[in-house]
Amino acid sequence: MSADKKAKAKAEQAKGKAKEALGRMTGNDRLTAEGRIDQVKGETREEKEKANEAFRR
């Protein structure tokens, strides 16, 4: 996985964790859900890149 794509995936996961935590602290269910979605997007991006690397070998 290239460093740039890995950083993007990790940043998206971190952004999602922050959103989810803020949503829980404020009682905002929508923000909590958006945070979880961002985390899943980041995890998916990371797994996709790992799969691409495996096929390139």
Residues 1-55: pLDDT tens digits? 577 888 899 999 999 999 999 999 999 999 999 999 999 999 999 999 888 888 8
> Which among 32, 34, 10, 33 has a CA at the least distance from the CA of 21?
32
Q: What pLDDT is attached to residue 54?
A: 85
User: Residues 49, 30, 19, CA angle at the centre, nearest 5°?
Assistant: 55
Residues near 34 by beta carbon (within 8 Å), at least 6 away in sequence: 16, 19, 23
Q: What pLDDT is attached to residue 4?
A: 86
pLDDT tier at 56 (50, 70, 90 boundaries)?
Answer: confident
